[in-house]
Amino acid sequence: MWMQKQLQLAAKARGFHLITDEVLQQLPELATIDVGLLHVFIQHTSASLTINENADPTVRQDFESFFNHAVPENEPYYRHVYEGSDDMPAHLKSSLLGASISLPIQNGGLNIGIWQGIYLCEHRNQGGPRRLVATLHGESKR
């Protein structure tokens, strides 16, 4: 079975946000899959996706601090500055983290670690709603 659908995420503040539940709520079809893969792709160049710690919120704060230090705003060598000081750094952060993730499915649910969750990495001060493309592939439950 193959299925693909577009998911919509509500606008979020700049930072790293757990979106596992928001994604799963929009994918009731996942419950029909015995074994397979979920591939999630973000259709934006200034936000990204990753998988990491889902329990302690300080991890998300530390991610934001690290990436702001590693990829600062207002560098004199940035030429792409038309959309504000956070735009070019957002593109760089997005490329570093990536635009997609793949997750295993088993018995109608995600087969990820107990402390793992899906992050939306919002790199813009005002990124707005974000669109994801979710592709499910797997064997249906009998």
Per-domain residue ranges for the chain?
2-140
122 within 8 A of 94, measured Cβ to Cβ: no
Cα-Cα-Cα-Cα dihedral of 123, 124, 125, 131, to 10°?
-100
Q: What is the pLDDT of residue 35?
A: 98
Q: How high is the mean pLDDT of the chain?
A: 97
Chain centroid to CA 134 = 11
- Give the pLDDT confidence score for residue 117 in this predicted structure: 98
Interval 130-140: pLDDT, tens: 999 999 999 99
pLDDT tier, 141 (very low <50, low <70, confident <90, very high otherwise): confident
Question: Per CATH, is 2-140 categorized as 2.60.420.10?
Answer: no
pLDDT at 142 over 80: no
User: Residues in the chain, how many?
Assistant: 142
Provide the pLDDT for residue 6: 98
> Distance between CA 77 and CA 79 in Å, rounded?
6
pLDDT tens profile 26-77: 999 999 999 999 999 999 999 999 999 999 999 999 999 999 999 999 999 9
Type of residue numbered 118: I
Is residue 118's pLDDT more than 90?
yes
Q: What whole-number percentage of the chain has pLDDT above 70?
A: 99
